[in-house]
Amino acid sequence: DVKVTQSSRYLVKRTGEKVFLECVQDMDHENMFWYRQDPGLGLRLIYFSYDVKMKEKGDIPEGYSVSREKKERFSLILESASTNQTSMYLCASSLWGQGDIDEQFFGPGTRLTVL
């Protein structure tokens, strides 16, 4: 079974702090994604990566950056946390499509609270 793990289930930070959210997948997937989930808004894509050292902006990249130094690991960075970044953050991975359409596999999520 594909396993996607996230470094923390719950995290509390203060405004202005630099925050790192880590995600690791164990199935050699090329694609990795970071979403945030907010009530009434569903999932919104922050950043994604198709390969090591590659990254592309999603729909709401402002205030975030990412790092993918190894294939299995995709980090989300909040450079200076703000209260409006309080949310549930979900990491996902998938195989490269190559003509097939593969589903994404999600981690358990990190609920981040910024005070």
Token couple for 104: 């994404």
| Choices 11-19, 37-45, 60-68, 76-84 (CB under 8 A): range interacting with other proteins | 37-45
Verify binding: residue 107, other proteins, rule CB under 8 A: yes
69 binds other proteins (CB under 8 A): no
| Single residue of 17, 28, 108, 115 touching other proteins by CB under 8 A | 108
Size of interface with other proteins, in residues (CB under 8 A) = 23
Residues 4, 19, 24, 66: which binds other proteins (CB under 8 A)?
4
Closest CA to 94 of 6, 24, 33, 7: 33
E-strand stretches of 31-95: 31-38, 42-49, 56-57, 64-70, 73-78, 87-94
Judged by CB under 8 A, the chain residues 79 through 98 that form the site for other proteins are: 90, 92, 97
What is the rounded distance in angstroms from the CA atom of residue 58 to the CA atom of residue 72? Answer: 20
DSSP string, 99-111: TS-PPPEE---EE
Single out the residue of 30, 63, 86, 106 in contact with other proteins (rule: CB under 8 A). 106
**What tokens appear for 101 in the block?**
């359409």
Tally of residues, the chain: 115
Residues that bind other proteins (CB under 8 A): 4, 9, 35, 40-45, 48, 58, 90, 92, 97, 100-101, 103-109
